[in-house]
Structure 1
Amino acid sequence: MNGAPIAWLGRPVLFAGLEQIERLDHRDHLVVHGRLPSMPIDEVADLAENVDLRGRGGAGFPFATKIRAVAKSAARRRARPVVVVNGTEGEPSCLKDAALLLRTPHLVLDGALLAADALDAEQVVLGVTRADTEQSLRTALAERRSTPLPVSVARLPERFVSGEGSSLARGVTGGLALPRGGGVRTSDSGVGGLPTLLSNAETYAQLAVAARLGALPYREVGLPSEPGTVLLTLAGSQVVETPTGVPLGELLAMFDLDIGQGVLTGGFHGTWLTPEAAATAVISRQSLRGLGGALGAGAILPLPPTTCPLGEVVRVSRWLADETAGQCGPCYLGLPALTTALEEVVLGGGRAALQNVENLMRAVTKRGACSHPDAAARFVASALEVFDEDLQLHSQQYGCGRPVQNVLPLPAEESAASIVVDWTLCEAHGLCTSVLPEVISLAADGFPSAAVMPVPPQLLQRAARAVDRCPALALKIR
């Protein structure tokens, strides 16, 4: 099965039954979890409130508030609502929802059907972007043979913005998977203009577990203020189920990871923690938020001491800019400009370049059709604060001296060209890597570490500058 490795601390809850087998089919699911109870809307909302169930897709919005809002809107409009499962997970650093959909899809289906039954919903729609999660859900529906109301699986474009609420609500019905803006909540007008309950896969799986256990047994695990377990994606490759309250540093050490230069919490829409803050953090929304971090979508990305932190930030900033929906200025124009300005800082642009970055961060904030530009600016601002010493080295001197090792996970980039080194001419001046650190790294002897280096399309212009800067004329673009 194509999916990230999974693990758990203590007794697994969401991953129960996966100790011996790779995927729970419907029969195995019923053996492990038992039958799903039926609950009226008030009981579902009260249960979600009693266990402090919040959205696990990033925003952390209380599920009880959301389902009550949908019920109220449906009653006012005398319309049957729609339940949507967000399984898109368009960020490369997040794999937890995919792990659920691939290995225990019936738990997610149970949570969605429980909410749909309580709301007297018209249908359930599961939005995904990956071929393997789509197939897993279709297989799961076939294993059930029938469902009490229509359930469908919709495949959306594999883009970051596909998972934004209004974008998903439009995309699952065949419309453009783009944010609509305007401040209209999906609880009032979502799929087909109907009141829509929209949450991510883990949230529905947690609801299904809580409905079977009841509030008090559910609360026996984790912190009293944030009970239960959470799914985390560590270093973009390992999905772990852990009770809340576990120290972050201890959790990383269990999986041979180190705090290093700092830890990005909440993924690429999240924020960085300094090593000192990360050493005192525990896995909880309150703890991470109090230290300047975020639980967000559950991505935890420690940065090892061997890579250039600001070079890594530039890579992610460029990817965030490329993932724009292209329909509003702060995203379509502002984020690429912000990334270019950040590159100038990293290349030694000094105070003027840094001031340009600060101006652009303010310019894109609170002006987009969705939260993407705000979150991208927050990611950059957090990095500049946490990696302040490196910022000074890059902006005022000649950089930190570390190569960019591409530690932060991004999709494989298609190469438009390659830089080729002529070893008979190269004199190890090293000027090329100061212009293009994302592509050209130097070995211990000062020479480029490879003879042929692929260049992503968005870096072609700077690749040409690197070639021009070589005094020995040892580089060419092929």
Structure 2
Amino acid sequence: MKVAPPKLLEARWLDSARLTAGLDRHQRLDLAAHTRVHLPLHQPGRDGLLALAEAVGLSGRGGAGFPFARKARATLAIADRMGAPPVIVVNGAEGEPASAKDKLLLARAPHLVLDGACLAAAAFGAEEIVIGVAAGSPGEISVPAALAERELPCPARTICLPDRFVSGESGALVRGINGLPVVPAPLKARAADGGTGGVRRRPTLLSNAETWAQLAVAARLGPDSYAAVGTAAEPGTVLLTVNRPGADPLVVEVPTGTLLDPVLNACGIQPGAGVLVGGYHGAWLHPSDAIAAPLSRAGLAALGGTLGAGAIVALPDATCPLGEIAQVAAWLAAESAGQCGPCKRGLPDAADALAVLAAGAAEPAVLENVRCALGSAQGGGACSHPDGTARFLLTALDVFSEDVDAHLSGPGCGRPVQGVLPLPPAKGARLEVDWSRCTGHGLCAVLAPDLIRLGPHGYPTSTTIPVAPWQEHGARRAVNQCPALAVRLQHRV
């Protein structure tokens, strides 16, 4: 089956090319190229595969870092008890705008990901393999083409999910596979347990695309060779997405524990005003801490950071940090599923307060409003979205504290917002307020309190407001009942 070449995402490596092997010579590794680049793959069996994953300390690479062997054992224990074969799920729904590593793997090295999933499917007697990809991503074409090229231990299929931030949450992915809305489940349920948390109520072993590729690499190398690079606690390599201002991101493979400074240097980037590690659920580091930060979960945790999905952004000195942060905060608030209080109230409140702070000359109480809204958002969400967003924003307030002071005491830092922090093109719906018509009735804020905030004089604080799908009903009520006809709902494609 011929496949159109996917958009080329550039891969680099420091020291060892394992996941990225062959990508310097091939735009995409079809099965023939894949078998030339990588060693033959042997099936270790159920106990052998579990022992291998445990020996190399394989953990999830989608952000949470949960031990793979422990998750697999839990899934198999339920499967044995139920007498039902498990389902293997590959999570390639990369909705994080700052991350491209899974897109690269699925587009350019799909067979390495499928190797890991097929190893588990054969060893664990799986009923099915399901690969979730973002609609419109290169994996939508590349993965089905790879499936058609190879023998499979069980039926396998690809499912395309909406290209949204929450689509990559494990519960949202399982719901999408089951034909339900692709949002996190209102009640938390583990995929391993089957029932409402699993695919077709089967025990489900779900891991990130890079995790499955790492399993295939470990099976080829064995525990000792796999641990020849990396740290003793976290052996092997890790994929990073290094975002560059005005250019496409680079996906870089490095041994775990590599310092951040040589990675930035290899990509031609300076630490600038601060470095974000872990993406939009990650944490900001001060430049002096960032250059010596070891790229491992333990090393970054010691600095108050998190490796997350390995997305890295260095913020240049020439852009306004608070303006950049405020734009991402508004996007994250609109990307929520709107199913719990922290997402419906906490994140929009924090985004609104940050927008006021970024505009300059804000009252000191605005900063407290941000911290209060984020504090209330932590710990009570239906998924990790509120906690991750709070970490991203709270660490930004600490790292850019001088800029916060400048925006509180005067018109601001004086720098433009260059849009360095990557965000997808604006799409979906937005509310627009025509201030030439608005007479300050305030009815819109009553009808759509999750969208519209009023300033001290009774007028909306923003003229353009992103509308999430779960907010459209309230938005339409505000438009239809505005006495001054000052509110419009616009849809962007």
Q: TM-score range by the shorter chain?
A: 0.7 to 0.9
Please give the alpha-carbon distance, in whole angstroms, between the structure 1 residues aligned to 2:312 and 2:268: 14
Partner of 1:371: 384
Q: Map of 1:104-253 to 2, 5 A cutoff?
A: 104-131=109-136, 132-144=138-150, 146-189=151-194, 190-235=198-243, 237-253=249-265
Please give the alpha-carbon distance, in whole angstroms, between the structure 1 residues aligned to 2:126 and 2:149: 22
Partner of 1:268: 280
1:101-137 superposed Cα distances (whole Å, 9 cap, x missing partner): 0111000001001111121111000001133211100
Letter in structure 1 aligned against 2:144: R
Please give the alpha-carbon distance, in whole angstroms, between the structure 2 residues aligned to 1:212 and 1:417: 54
1:174-209 superposed Cα distances (whole Å, 9 cap, x missing partner): 221111132321110211111111111000000001
Please give the alpha-carbon distance, in whole angstroms, between the structure 2 residues aligned to 1:72 and 1:395: 56
- Asked if the contact 2:133–2:161 (Cα under 8 Å) also holds between the matched residues in 1, the reply is yes
Verify: 1:396 aligned to 2:409, yes or no: yes
Partner of 2:312: 300
Letter in structure 2 aligned against 1:200: N
Please give the alpha-carbon distance, in whole angstroms, between the structure 2 residues aligned to 1:359 and 1:287: 29
What are structure 1's unaligned runs of at least 5 residues? 419-454, 460-478
TM-score (norm 2): 0.83
- Note the C-alpha offset of 1:335: 1.3
Verify: 1:57 aligned to 2:62, yes or no: yes
Please give the alpha-carbon distance, in whole angstroms, between the structure 2 residues aligned to 1:179 and 1:327: 8
- Note the C-alpha offset of 1:233: 0.2
Please give the alpha-carbon distance, in whole angstroms, between the structure 2 residues aligned to 1:231 and 1:181: 32
Please give the alpha-carbon distance, in whole angstroms, between the structure 1 residues aligned to 2:267 and 2:184: 37
Partner of 1:476: none
Misfit runs of 4+, over 6 Å: 415-418
Moved more, 87-96 or 172-181: 172-181
1:225-271 superposed Cα distances (whole Å, 9 cap, x missing partner): 21111110001611111112222011101111011111001000000
- Note the C-alpha offset of 1:158: 0.9
Question: What secondary structure sits across from 2:193 in the alignment?
Answer: coil
Please give the alpha-carbon distance, in whole angstroms, between the structure 2 residues aligned to 1:335 and 1:168: 22
Q: How many residues align?
A: 423
Question: What secondary structure sits across from 2:269 in the alignment?
Answer: coil
Q: 1:192 to 1:417 in 2, by over 3 A?
A: closer
Please give the alpha-carbon distance, in whole angstroms, between the structure 1 residues aligned to 2:21 and 2:71: 27
TM-score (norm 1): 0.85
What are structure 2's unaligned runs of at least 5 residues? 1-5, 433-462, 468-493
Letter in structure 1 aligned against 2:103: A
Percent of pairs with identical residues: 51
**RMSD of Structure 2 on Structure 1 (CA):** 1.9
Q: Map of 1:295-334 to 2, 5 A cutoff?
A: 295-334=307-346
Please give the alpha-carbon distance, in whole angstroms, between the structure 1 residues aligned to 2:420 and 2:252: 19
1:139-176 superposed Cα distances (whole Å, 9 cap, x missing partner): 101111x3120000000111111111111011023221
- Note the C-alpha offset of 1:456: 6.4
1:316-367 superposed Cα distances (whole Å, 9 cap, x missing partner): 1011011011222221232111100122223332221111112111221122
Please give the alpha-carbon distance, in whole angstroms, between the structure 1 residues aligned to 2:59 and 2:34: 24
Partner of 1:423: none
